A and B are shown apart, each in its own frame.
Chain A
Amino acid sequence: MSTPATRRKLELGRVGESVKRVDAVPKVTGEFAYSSDLFAAGMLWGHTLRSPHAHARILSIDISEAVGLAGVHAVLTHDDVPGDKRYGLEFPDQPVLAFDRVRYFGEPVALVAAEHPEQARRAAAAIKVEYEPLELVVDPELAADQPAIHPQHWTQGHGYRDDPRPNVVRDMRIERGDPDARADVSVEGYYELGIQDQAFLGPESGLAVPDGEGGVDIYVATQWLHVDRDQVAPCLNLSREQVRIHLAGVGGAFGGREDLSMQLHAAMLALHTNRPVKMVYNREESFFGHVHRHPGRIWAEHRANRDGKLVCVRMRILLDGGAYASSSTAVTSNAASFAVGPYAIENALIESTCVYTNNPPCGAMRGFGAVQTCFAAEAQMDKLAAELGMDPVELRLRNALASGDELPTGQKITGSMPVEEVIRRAAAIPVPDPEELPRDPIRLPGGAGNTTRGDGVQRGVGFAVGFKNIGYSEGFDDYTAARVRLFADTDGDLVAEIYCAAAEVGQGVTNVILQTARTELELENVMLAPGTTGEVGSAGSASASRMTWMATGAVQAACRAVRDELDRRGGGLASGDEIDLERIYRHPRTGPLEPETGQITTERAHVSFAAAAMRVVVEVDVDLGLTRVVWIGTAQDVGTAVNPQAVYGQIEGGTAQGLGLALMEEIQTRDGLITNASFTDYLIPTALDMPPVVAELVEHPEPEAPFGVKGVGEPPTVVSTAAVMSAMRAATGRELNRVPVKPDDIVFSGS
């Protein structure tokens, strides 16, 4: 008998080391298999017929011509939904396929499966749907009292503040201290944000394969496999075990893959035809395929004493949730909870309302409500600094939130909250001197357009601070499962296979899992099995900057259980033996907010918080309104960096997304219809628009988190829009209270 297998000593790849991402090389060489690359023998192509109306009654659907076309295998409508006709991430308000009426432009109405994608498209075009347009609800200011888009009031009766108005998704208040408290000075402002799209480069796509026993396997780019399964199964009238969701290569997510897109549709077509069915949205369809960032209108008043100490903050936030609830209730609450920013405050009144409209549905996007209010709150802090004649960084330092302070919800911060250090570190990064003229036009506002040699160019430097929660909140039972299978390979070495359904959405969680397992097991041979609902419990969502913390916790727990079992067996495994254990990790429990006052009802409503501060230098050609973001320096509170190289990447990417919202990204709608559903008309920053980012990691381990980690994906997006706008105001002297800011807002005062 051979000697038992033992550990091969771990050389590299522990928590805290910069490790090259396992997907890095295949992604840059083009070999990475994205969900749109999937292929199965004999597969059909699915296509979705979508509503051309933002609000209309469906009078009839006639599929007779479509079913007879060449290559067509199935044409399905709401009549063909085998189970529940509605689904939803939090409230089942969204039809699988529209029945009775459509509520937004691009809503799915019917499905086609055909042998060729063009045959599917043509068949979809041959479906005759008779609509009767209904009154549009598109102005969020008026929406609350207009005729109900959802007479069922799906979001009522869930412990939120009751608002009887027909189209209110959620209405909440946070009231702290004396909201009428007076102070030496007061500044007021009104702010607006347009609709931002996640603009992930890999459009919605996937493959559904019938298993021959009535069930279905769905390979899809998603953020949360198990919640997809839990929504899909009841609509297909299948048990959860009959629906298996497998993670396919994700080309970006940013919140936009939290809700279902083609999962149910492809599965319906696959089960109906008993053939694999592939669906791939094109860019235009992708704009209809997922929820967007809520556009917002925010009024704010900040009161402070001469010494700069904030006395009272009052804010009213109006968010347009679009046609379906998605995660709007949580976004509404987050916008309110982080409205004041990372500042200690004794008196506050924050009112946050989200309404249903016939505009594009909105939900999760990186920053999740905190982006909107950070933009407003930080503009207010700059205004206040000007009013007080105080340095804006100093004003922020004087009010910086710290561990032990209470939030406006009454929650006492028990974990790490190094706001002051984050501000000081960001402010201490040396700002580069202005470059000399003449310069290559690419290093001037206007870029390749060759519009200036330096004339009209004014420089501005801005600063902002932002923060956000890590993990799910308000009593949600948030957990992650991980399973570790330890076995001996033929060389007599121990090998660990990790099962965890955490979605690798580009954020780098694969490496986080591998590094955690290597560290815990002191073992080099560690593999991560493909993510699937079939092999392991839920990992929860790759959202809320939670996945690193949660996956680390679950993998750590499973590894420790396996290690203990190995020790019991004498430290080695004989060939053929294995240890296979699954563990569930939960972060500290949260509780709901009191509906009328927004105060905590348990120790906390949020688990933990992460802050970032950012200084931005811009140059604006004020004659043309064109901008060059010159330089960005930032410091971010990251807890412990598991893979520092990946953290820097997250900071740069998150910053770019906030810069896009500040300067160019906006979905345009007219009467609920999206007019710029293309990358020709919806612009996102290119490499030329993005400056170098100098980032410093502020590492104060979070006491309650495994290895002291925090999440890192969202804080840069929360703060960068505000920081870019601070610099834009400094350069132009204009108020610029709406993002994205366009050349029109800078050169023209007539509007």
Chain B
Amino acid sequence: MDILRPDSLEAARAALKNGSVALAGGTELVPLLRDRIVEADTIVEIRHAVPRGIQGTRIGAGTTLGELEVDPQIPDALREACRLAASPQLRAMGTIGGNLLQATRCWYWRLKYPCWLHGGGRCFAHEGLHREHAVFANAPCASAHPSDVAAALLALGATVRTDRRELPIAELYRLPTGDDRRMTGLEPGELILELEVPMPAASTYLKAMDRKRFAFALVGVAAARSPEGTRLALAGMAPIPWLLEDESALDEATPLPGNAYKLEIARALIRRALVAVAP
């Protein structure tokens, strides 16, 4: 395996071709490589190729979660989500761009069961253990997307700028389908460079976990109020970060026998999040 360290975006783009993967903080990619879930013959370290830092409402994709969580200018929801995303060591390395591309959580998938997401025909979580799994859009695959940061950015209505285009963050993600089981719409080699995060009137991120910190969200709720209204988004509730029309949209969930409790938690958390961002 080779490791390339391009010092410009152009060099990084040239290096990112078939058989290579981009590495920023490495906190997500390295475990996936170790477990051979991601295979690569070349690692392209993009730390010196993508922007890092905060300028007004623009955030470089290479900014670490640790840098964001202490920045007083960014919206509360994003700051809280960064602070809650992982342990300090991981936050010191992990970048916001990398966090958005975090792999979905499902232990069957991580243990390489021949599941639907790996190209097989069944979702083992449906008939097996699934208390941590998705309650929305969980038909072919019940994995749950863990990104606290993505939920916050969804609620905040952020825009993603890549080396090829600009798109609303909601369009970064796609539900996997039978003929394309990827969970983002990024093209091969496409790099997230920057995020544009509008400043809301008020925002918050609340996260229910199995212990008091350093755990994935059972349910994460982000809420952001702007003049156009209040937007809600969820972490840990669907295979991708989930935008929620309003509280009543919880009734459209399709929980599995062992995870309907998540809706009870979500209902209470949403109520509290709405109180927190109310004028």
Contact = CB atoms under 8 A, between A and B. Distances in A.
B32 interface: no
A254 B216 CA distance: 27
A670 B212 CA distance: 27
A686 B214 contact: yes
A748 interface: yes
Contacts of B260: 748, 750-751
Contact of A450 (B80, B131, B268): B80
B228 interface: no
Contact of B208 (A453, A624, A680, A689): A624
A664 interface: yes
Interface string B90-113: 000000000000000001100100
Interface in A11-34: none
A538 B264 CA distance: 56
Interface string B208-239: 11111111101000000000000000000000
A442 B83 CA distance: 13
B129 interface: yes
A287 to B, nearest CB: 12
B213 A686 contact: yes
Contacts of A449: 84, 206-209, 212-213
A673 B124 CA distance: 13
Given A446-B208, A675-B108, A743 B257 contact: no
A455 interface: yes
Contact of A743 (B210, B213, B214): B210
Interface string B28-50: 00000000000000000000000
Contacts of A668: 107, 129
Interface residues of A, number: 37
A318 to B, nearest CB: 21
A313 interface: no
B212 A446 contact: yes
Contacts of A743: 208, 210, 218, 261, 265
A751 B272 contact: no
Interface in B175-217: 204-216
A676 B107 contact: yes
Nearest to B216: A680
Given A670-B129, A744-B131, A625 B213 contact: no
Contacts of B72: none
Nearest to B87: A686
A518 to B, nearest CB: 42
A689 B268 contact: no
A527 interface: no
Contacts of A455: 272
Contacts of A683: 210-211, 215
B261 A689 contact: no
B207 A689 contact: no
A447 B211 contact: yes
Interface of A: 442, 446-453, 455-456, 623-626, 628, 663-664, 668, 670, 673, 675-676, 680-681, 683, 685-686, 688-689, 742-744, 747-748, 750-751
7 closest A-B pairs by beta carbon, nearest first, are: A447-B212, A748-B261, A623-B268, A448-B213, A449-B207, A744-B261, A688-B212
Given A668-B107, A750-B260, 9 more contacts: A446-B208, A449-B207, A456-B268, A623-B268, A625-B208, A663-B211, A670-B124, A675-B129, A747-B264
